[in-house]
Amino acid sequence: MARVRVFLAVLFLLFTSSPVHGADNGSDSVLESVPDLEKAMYLNLKSYPCVRLLNLSGEIGCSNPGNDKISAPIVRLKSGTIRLARPSTVLLQEEQMQDFFLRVSGDLEFSKNVAGVLVEPSETVNMSSGFSPADKFPQSAFAPYSNTSYEWNLPGSGIMWNKYDFPVFLLAEESISTLKEIVGERNEASPENVAEFDLVMQTTKLGTHDSETCLKEQTCLPLGGYSVWSSLPPINISSTVTKPIVFAVASFDSASFFRDRSLGADSPISGLIALLTAVDALSHVNHLKNLKKQLVFAVLTGEAWGYLGSRKFLQELDLGSDSIRGLSSSMIEQIVEIGSVGQSLGKGGTLFYAHAGGESSGTKVILKALEDASESLGSDNVKVKKASSMNPGIPPSSLMAFLRKNTSASGIVLGDFDSAFSNKFYHSHLDNACKLKIFFFKRKITKKMFFLHFYQVIFCSTTANIKTSSVAAAAALVARALYIIANGDATLDLMALNDIKVNVSLVEELVGCLVTCEPGLSCELVGRYISPSNGDCPSHYVGVFQDTPSASQKPSYVDDTSRFLWNFLADMTSATRDGTDSCTGDCSNVGDVCIGSETEGGGKCVISTTRYVPAYSTRLKYENNIWHVLPANPSDPMESVDPVWTESYWNTIGLRVYKVESPLYDRLVLAGGVFVTFASYLAVVIARTQLAKVVKRD
């Protein structure tokens, strides 16, 4: 039908010269070409798609049902009991999402007429009970205990784990007004509004409906990316570290119903920012080499999809790979994971909960260090409490992978919740930061000095899902606790402990860089290290592993967030040589790395032990230019429950809307076209006849 409309309109264009009211700017303009005509007819909407993902047992997510674009009239969902008489595009509000998709999954008669879905964001979302498309116990199969029916995520509905054979798009804020202009109250005589979806997934097109078959037919890629680890102070990578290791961990990937709106402000980015800020604070402490234990920091990706980062990290340790050269799993004595810490503010100050992985002596050392760190913060009123003994165990976290690997491992997860997530928007596109902006003085970070710059940062209102003061409190608690643990049984230097202070402006700056679009990845801090390749707006969806797995520390494709984290940690944990060389790649001295190499003017060589570690399923092997699924290793209990997530290829993803006139109007246009064609033909015949008469007379 769209082609017919274009054809008829072209006929109209050829035989008229009057101005046509343009769709883009509302002004009268003359259509001079078919592209001008299409631009006037169609409105492209900026939006975020739900895409098709696969695992070993099947599919989840969204896709066009066939091989072509689909078009359907737009119907606004006004109540949960609406019936669809024909295939339609359903326009709904964010707060209607959960009920709608639960109905789709349970009402086949209703779902067969859902041709597509548009989700309209609201400035004032009334979701007091929360919205989470994840499960109530996320990734319960990896739990190191048997009670997997426990509900950590109370608002969890699980709708993101279902398969939908229709496209679903979240409209960008700037598209709402455009859509409202063309979608309103209409009567039978009004033009009909139609949405056209282009979300053809190659796995759907070619019938490869699970990870093993789509990898074999090369219609998908495995989920994955690059984790980063670093040590403070740097270690000699030519030999294995001899000190016991205190291992501090945070994750930096999130998930949501919509692929490119996975900000994860509270879960997990608040924990990441707290760890980065703690590293910055510890980097200013003198004589760290004198500590009894070695501080090692790891930021992991792929944790939302089967704990890809932590499991691959452990596998690399077992294999003794170059990516973890200098580390030994037997030397990891304590594990401190920083989870969601962005919502612990209350009337009495800040309170965090320590979820202990067992009752080992090493775990008790961590709990005691957290209590001592809390006391040392004094008037800052940062408290820590052991989580309820009624909990079945630790919450969903990277520590689960370490405990499944070694049940005697000593570790805790620090969070802003006790028995259930305080984050009501876990793994949702609504887990974001606030949108208001103010101007603020920001300091330029270096290890030796700082400068002030006039710069905009994000002012967090009560609608934010992350509070910078809560994150800063967690960073202070973690930094001091790590110092106490690393000090071991030596006499604690109270003066040095009290000198460990976090920079709140760094927390604010990292929030602006990592969980907002303004300034987003265009912020000055990120720009000091890398040149972002994927625009300003960050997204913490893990993405697909596009590299050929290798031992190289210069992988050909690393996403913006991983590259920034590598550079930041390398800088904060570095020791600078006298007469530091500038660089654009490799450094000449063994143990040196080049930070800021992407920036204008190049970077600098510093001494740092900072490494990339690949993160993808441990059941995958890349051989002969194809990914292969390996049988589960019977000695690794996690491999038997590994979903092996992949993402389908696609050609293009797009959404546009247009108006369809009534059938009577189409018939009139057709009749008009036929009349013009007949009249033109008749005019030509008459003209030729008259011309022939004139020639005969002459």
Give the model's confidence band at 663: pLDDT under 50 very low, under 70 low, under 90 confident, else very high.
low
Give the model's confidence band at 395: pLDDT under 50 very low, under 70 low, under 90 confident, else very high.
very high
| 89 three-state secondary structure | strand
Higher pLDDT, 413 or 432: 413
Query: What's the confidence (pLDDT) of residue 24?
Result: 44
User: Smallest Cα–Cα separation from 411: which of 362, 339, 351?
Assistant: 362
Q: Cα dist. 284→146, 228, 375, 391, 479 in Å?
A: 44, 21, 21, 38, 11
In the 3-class helix/strand/coil scheme, how is 156-205 assigned residue by residue? Answer: ECCHHHCEECCCEEEECHHHHHHHHHHCCCCCCCCCEEEEEEEEEEHHHH
- Answer yes or no: are the C-beta atoms of 413 and 337 closer than 8 Å: yes
- Give the rounded percent of residues in the chain with a pLDDT score beyond 70: 85
Pick left, alpha or beta for residue 570 (phi over 0 → left; psi -120 to 50 → alpha; otherwise beta): alpha
In the 3-class helix/strand/coil scheme, how is 400-457 assigned residue by residue? Answer: HHHHHHCCCCCEEEEECCCCCCCCCCCCCCCCCCCCCEEEEEEEEECCCCEEEEEEEE
Helix, strand, coil percentages in the chain from 3-state DSSP, rounded to 5: 30, 25, 45
Query: What's the confidence (pLDDT) of residue 141?
Result: 96
Amino acid making up residue 660: V
Query: What's the confidence (pLDDT) of residue 347?
Result: 66
At which residue do the structure tokens 């999809």 appear?
Answer: 305
| 307 three-state secondary structure | coil
- Whether a cis peptide bond, with omega within 30° of 0, leads into 532 is no
Per mean pLDDT, which of 73-82, 222-231, 665-674 is the most reliable? 222-231
pLDDT digits (tens, 9 = 90+) for 89-99: 999 999 999 99
For 568-615, give the DSSP string: HHHHHT-BPPTTPPEESS--SSTTEEEESTTSTT-EEEEE--EEEEEE
Give the model's confidence band at 665: pLDDT under 50 very low, under 70 low, under 90 confident, else very high.
low
- Whether a cis peptide bond, with omega within 30° of 0, leads into 268 is yes
Query: What's the confidence (pLDDT) of residue 435?
Result: 46
Residue 366 tokens read as: 């961590």
Question: In angstroms, rounded to a whole number, what is the distance separating the alpha carbons of residues 678 and 671?
Answer: 10
HSE, CB side, 13 Å, CA atoms: give it for residue 68: 2
For range 603-616, the mean pLDDT = 94
pLDDT digits (tens, 9 = 90+) for 154-191: 999 999 999 999 999 999 988 888 787 766 655 445 56
Question: In angstroms, rounded to a whole number, what is the distance separating the alpha carbons of residues 227 and 255?
Answer: 16
Give the model's confidence band at 292: pLDDT under 50 very low, under 70 low, under 90 confident, else very high.
very high
pLDDT digits (tens, 9 = 90+) for 259-277: 999 999 999 999 999 999 9
Query: What's the confidence (pLDDT) of residue 577?
Result: 66
- Answer yes or no: are the C-beta atoms of 306 and 139 closer than 8 Å: yes
How does the average pLDDT of the chain come out, rounded? Answer: 86
Residue 28 tokens read as: 């009268």
665 phi/psi in degrees, rounded to 5: -65, -45
696: exposed, middle or buried (Cβ count in 10 Å: 0-12, 13-18, 19+): exposed
pLDDT digits (tens, 9 = 90+) for 517-560: 889 999 999 999 999 987 778 999 999 998 888 767 888 899 99
Q: Is the pLDDT of residue 253 over 90?
A: yes
Higher pLDDT, 624 or 398: 398
User: Smallest Cα–Cα separation from 574: which of 529, 537, 638, 619?
Assistant: 529
- Answer yes or no: are the C-beta atoms of 582 and 602 closer than 8 Å: yes
- Answer yes or no: are the C-beta atoms of 671 and 6 closer than 8 Å: no
At which residue do the structure tokens 């007819």 appear?
Answer: 41
* Range with lowest mean pLDDT among 444-448, 478-482, 514-518: 444-448
Question: In angstroms, rounded to a whole number, what is the distance separating the alpha carbons of residues 246 and 412?
Answer: 12
pLDDT digits (tens, 9 = 90+) for 46-55: 999 999 999 9
Q: Is the pLDDT of residue 388 over 60?
A: yes
- Give the rounded percent of residues in the chain with a pLDDT score beyond 90: 61
Query: What's the confidence (pLDDT) of residue 32?
Result: 63
pLDDT digits (tens, 9 = 90+) for 578-608: 666 788 888 888 889 999 999 888 899 999 9
Q: Is the pLDDT of residue 8 over 70?
A: no
pLDDT digits (tens, 9 = 90+) for 418-469: 999 999 999 999 999 854 343 333 444 444 333 333 334 434 333 578 999 9
Question: In angstroms, rounded to a whole number, what is the distance separating the alpha carbons of residues 255 and 83?
Answer: 31
Q: Please, what sign has the CA dihedral across residues 685, 691, 695, 698? A: positive
Residue 403 tokens read as: 């405990």
564 phi/psi in degrees, rounded to 5: -65, -45
For range 329-351, the mean pLDDT = 90
Beta-bridge partners for 26: none
For range 475-488, the mean pLDDT = 97
Q: Under 8 Å CB-to-CB from 394, ≥6 apart: which residues? A: 144, 355, 356, 357, 400, 403, 412, 413
Query: What's the confidence (pLDDT) of residue 431?
Result: 94
For range 298-313, the mean pLDDT = 98
